[in-house]
Amino acid sequence: MNHLDIELQQLKAETMKMWLLVNLQLTKGKESLLNLDKDLAREVILSERRVNAYELKLDRDCENIFALFNPLAVDLRFVLAVLKINNNLERIGDYVEGIAKFVLNVDSNFDTKLLEITRVVEMFAAANNMMETVLEAFDKEDTSIARKVFQQDELLDDINIKANSIIADYIRNHPDNIDATLYLLSIIRKLERVGDQAKNMAEEIIFYIEAKVLRHRSKVEKNK
């Protein structure tokens, strides 16, 4: 194994550490919401600093590999993919931090009926599953696993689209609970964006393994 291979292995390992941290943040964000656990929400916000530190470190590591080794072909595509995945993970960390801040601003538990009709718990589970699926694809370098994410994202899109009318109806019937309801709508929006970022990461995995650029292609083309 040459020096470049060692550097690439280390880069992959560090990326996966950041990924696991972001996945944990997402899980904690869900728990803080469901239990109105403000201490856990604060923990999520504080941990975002670690996510940001990982982003800076991975950026520097990629820059060093470019400068020292001038990677080509699949090695070059891998480093380029990591750069973009790194950015995707940092954004997801930001979204979860935003969810935690909403939890801190709520005075009482979210209405369980509202959580049920908006399907936000299902949305959290789907987002977590997408993140775990795309991480597995990255670890195993398996594009067939990466492609599963595209179908999973459709569920998040569906819940997000239906949320507007559900939230509007709920506010009309519960005008005393507007703030918490609007916070929940914002949380749904952030979870939909988590799905978008996970989908982007799946595209980057396919790019570096198969040398295919899937951005802006149709769902049918992406699944081929």
- b/e 130-140 (16+ beta carbons within 10 angstroms → b): bbebbbebbee
Count up the domains in the chain and report the number.
Answer: 1
At 224 the pLDDT is 58
What is the crossing angle of helices 38-69 and 3-35, to 10°? 160
At 1 the pLDDT is 73
At 107 the pLDDT is 85
Pull the structure tokens for residue 150: 């595209």
Write out pLDDT tens, residues 79-94: 999 999 999 999 999 9
- Which amino acid does the sequence have at 84? K
CA dihedral 109, 114, 117, 123 (to 10 degrees): -40
Write out pLDDT tens, residues 203-217: 999 999 998 876 655
- For residue 75, the tally of other CB atoms under 10 A from its CB is 17
CB 185 within 8 A of CB 99: no
The CATH code of the domain that includes 65 is 1.20.58.220
- Residues (pLDDT < 50) of the chain are none
* pTM of the shown model: 0.92
At 222 the pLDDT is 55
Residue with tokens 């291979």: 5
Structural domain including 82 reads 3-222
Rounded Cα–Cα distance for residues 23 and 138 (Å): 14
At 109 the pLDDT is 85
